[in-house]
Chains A and B, each alone.
Chain A
Amino acid sequence: MSFLELEDLRIHFPTDDGLVKSVDGLSFSLERGKTLGIVGESGSGKSVTSLGILGLHKGGRARISGEIRLDGDELVSAGPEHVRALRGKKMAMIFQDPLSAMHPYYTVGAQIIEAYRIHNPVSKAVARKHAIDMLGRVGIPQPDRRVDSYPHEFSGGMRQRAMIAMALSCDPELLIADEPTTALDVTVQAQILDLMRDLQQEFNSALIIITHDLGVVAELSDDILVMYGGKCIEYGTAEDIFERPEHPYTWGLLGSMPRLDREPTERLMPIKGTPPSLINVPSGCAFHPRCAFEGRTGGKAKTAVPELLETEGGHLVRCHMAGEERRAIWENEIKPNLESV
């Protein structure tokens, strides 16, 4: 049994316009000390997944089914009080924009102290020492002074460090980082990614990184899960995804991004169209209206939802095309174009 297991997780929101299937049958597992990268565009369901694990998806309105097992503890059917007690202690989260994610009226120290004292019955003085200690560990200079600063007095990078210190204050075993570096400058992003890598090794926690940036995922992840329209469409090791991706959407993502490590290409190879609305997900394979290879599925793509099937060694792909065909397309049609002209 893995440390974190999701099984057929579904999070649906009834709205006036229809049922929004933000997460629609998601399964994966993650061990302690490992990092999973969840990649997807806006509306792919990646952020709702992470909020769902922590039980933070908008409470009353959402319909959630399936199973989330954290260390054998099933969370979907557990009472809200049970999940609350785990939040912050056993599982913690880092958010995208540390300026809006920290309360503007309380000092950074007060917010870390608060996080620590909910789960640890210690005096304020002890918690304060712990907060200073945590700030020092995430690389904030003069933590004993900075502990009394307000979030707006920190720079962007320092704020994200403080946010990480807050998330790690109770030594969580599962850490979820939702676009942790998107709001940061590139040189600061590099620092934060280094910090997260170091801290994960130190704490041996399971780490989920949610991002749209394939570069960030490549830097940190052991495994990668690509989401589209609320479903996992490809899952594999980082090497699987970057060296031998098999889903046309993954190819599209790779073809869409200019890369610094290659000769510049003449043209990018974008995916046509736009990400689907989750209210009105296309029939069959949700990606088929944008897929360049839809014609090679014999019309199945429009009518039948493809299964998520193993192609080799734990590499899962949700596509109607046969494995050999996909690998041939990758080798002959996609990969050469990505290399350069």
Chain B
Amino acid sequence: MSETPEPLLSVEGLEKHFPITKGLIKRQVGAVKAVDGLTFDVRKGETLGLVGESGCGKTTTGRLITRLLEPTGGTVRFEGHDITHMSQGALRPLRRDMQMIFQDPYSSLNPRHTVGAIVGAPFRIQGVKTEQGTKKAVQEILELVGLNPEHYNRYPHEFSGGQRQRIGIARTLALKPKLIIADEPVSALDVSIQAQVVNLLEDLQNELDLTYVVIAHDLSVVRHISDRVAVMYLGKIVEIADRKGLYERPMHPYTTALLSAVPIPDVKARGGRDRIRLQGDVPSPLNPPPACRFHTRCWKAQEVCKTVEPPLVALAPGHQVACHFPENAPAPADAAPEAAVPAAPGAATE
């Protein structure tokens, strides 16, 4: 399944459990399993989309990968280095290679610093000397993200939302990172601005050979920008596949339902689409349903879904699903999914 010998980012069994305490002596009575056993790779140069609804753990995942949060289990490998429990000091040189873009361009920029100071900060923090001086380097980056380099001395409030997000992107690009984790990079922006930023991210990827993990709730944006997509539900990956496979032949009922819930700007399609309407809201991650976490809302759920947790298995090349009763499963479906079987030779090419 891997084309390159070693993925840029490799996540295995990643867990983040936040403790819940109770009583006089605050003893731990349980845990919010915000992220509960994620395994995926990100190859160099690709974009992995991470989608899911609120409470699915996608934002926590981003923060675990960048070590803004400390994982409670599993491993994170970046370029072969195990960074799961690396000290902040040891992480510092790696931070140059791994950057994060945040959702809210209003609150993630210090209002008292000029654009030059914000974008130049990584140089200072990392103690990087540039040939032509920091100012020149910053201005080049500003130009790269489509901002006027003469605005070096302006403050964030003088910019519109879209421009602020460009400043945020410029800051992450300063040290020429290899991996960028973008957490809802466009959801706070106006429609016409969203498209500008999406295009910018794509251009930068081509120009600078970047690898992205894009975390978003908007399935259309994720499809547009991603090569592969992982769908999360209550702390678990329920399906991960390349874009075409996931959007055209979704196998997990939850993915199917998500796709069918997206409103389509097509008047003629009104009422003509097959709709799957899930009942109720996403259950609280405080108390997720046992076994398959989706069984409370799933129309295909059987007894087994309430008792046995379905493993994430590859049902087609590069297409892993965690479901007892997957949809669109390829022909040899009589074999009950057991472990992650690598695609049998000769079976299923597209």
Chain B positions 244-267 with a Cβ under 8 Å from a chain A Cβ: 247, 257-267
Chain B min CB distance to A41 (Å): 4
Report the Cα distance A267→B202, complex, angstroms.
9
Residues of A within 8 A of B54 (CB): 156, 185
Asked whether, in the complex, the Cβ of B265 is within 8 Å of the Cβ of A217, the reply is yes
Asked whether, in the complex, the Cβ of A274 is within 8 Å of the Cβ of B281, the reply is no
Chain B min CB distance to A122 (Å): 32
Residues of A within 8 A of B275 (CB): 190
The stretch of A87-95, A250-258, A310-318, A319-327 in contact with B is A250-258
Residues of A within 8 A of B217 (CB): 185-186
Chain B min CB distance to A35 (Å): 12
Report the Cα distance A264→B280, complex, angstroms.
31
Is residue A239 contacting chain B, with contact meaning CB distance below 8 A? yes
B203's closest neighbor in chain A, by CB?
A: A267
Is residue A242 contacting chain B, with contact meaning CB distance below 8 A? yes
Chain A min CB distance to B277 (Å): 6
Q: Per-position contact with B for A152-192: 1 when CB-CB < 8 Å, else 0?
A: 00011110000000000000000000000000011111110
Asked whether, in the complex, the Cβ of A270 is within 8 Å of the Cβ of B267, the reply is no
Is residue A212 contacting chain B, with contact meaning CB distance below 8 A? yes
Q: Given A185-B281, A187-B257, A216 and B192 touching (CB < 8 A)?
A: no
Chain B min CB distance to A99 (Å): 12
Report the Cα distance A254→B163, complex, angstroms.
21
Q: Per-position contact with B for A178-214: 1 when CB-CB < 8 Å, else 0?
A: 0000000111111101100000000000000000111
A156's closest neighbor in chain B, by CB?
A: B281
Q: Per-position contact with A for B275-288: 1 when CB-CB < 8 Å, else 0?
A: 10110111000000
Asked whether, in the complex, the Cβ of A215 is within 8 Å of the Cβ of B264, the reply is yes
Residues of B within 8 A of A189 (CB): 261, 263
Chain A positions 220-277 with a Cβ under 8 Å from a chain B Cβ: 238-239, 242-243, 252-261, 264-265, 267-272, 274-275
Interface residues on A, range: 35 or more
Is residue A149 contacting chain B, with contact meaning CB distance below 8 A? no
Chain B min CB distance to A261 (Å): 5
Q: Per-position contact with A for B140-162: 1 when CB-CB < 8 Å, else 0?
A: 00000000000000000000111
Q: Given A156-B54, A271-B192, A274-B160, A218 and B264 touching (CB < 8 A)?
A: yes
Asked whether, in the complex, the Cβ of B264 is within 8 Å of the Cβ of A155, the reply is no
Asked whether, in the complex, the Cβ of A215 is within 8 Å of the Cβ of B265, the reply is yes
The SS class assigned to the B binding surface is helix
Chain A min CB distance to B66 (Å): 25
The stretch of B81-89, B92-100, B218-226, B335-343 in contact with A is B218-226
Residues of A within 8 A of B265 (CB): 214-215, 217-218, 242, 254, 257, 259
Residues of B within 8 A of A260 (CB): 219-220, 223, 247, 259, 262, 264
Report the Cα distance A158→B247, complex, angstroms.
29
Asked whether, in the complex, the Cβ of B264 is within 8 Å of the Cβ of A191, the reply is no
Is residue A280 contacting chain B, with contact meaning CB distance below 8 A? no
Is residue A219 contacting chain B, with contact meaning CB distance below 8 A? yes
Asked whether, in the complex, the Cβ of A259 is within 8 Å of the Cβ of B219, the reply is no
Q: Given A256-B194, A260-B223, A218 and B263 touching (CB < 8 A)?
A: yes
A41's closest neighbor in chain B, by CB?
A: B190
Report the Cα distance A272→B54, complex, angstroms.
31
A271's closest neighbor in chain B, by CB?
A: B192
Chain A min CB distance to B187 (Å): 10
Chain A min CB distance to B117 (Å): 23
Is residue A42 contacting chain B, with contact meaning CB distance below 8 A? yes
Report the Cα distance A233→B190, complex, angstroms.
18
Chain A residues within CB distance 8 Å of chain B: 41-42, 155-158, 185-191, 193-194, 212-219, 238-239, 242-243, 252-261, 264-265, 267-272, 274-275, 290
> Can you offer 18 A-B residue contacts whose CB atoms are under 8 A?
A42-B190, A157-B281, A189-B261, A190-B263, A190-B277, A194-B277, A215-B265, A242-B267, A243-B267, A260-B264, A261-B264, A264-B224, A264-B243, A268-B195, A268-B224, A272-B196, A275-B190, A290-B192
The 8 closest A-B pairs by CB, nearest first: A215-B263, A270-B195, A256-B195, A258-B224, A190-B261, A185-B53, A155-B281, A268-B195
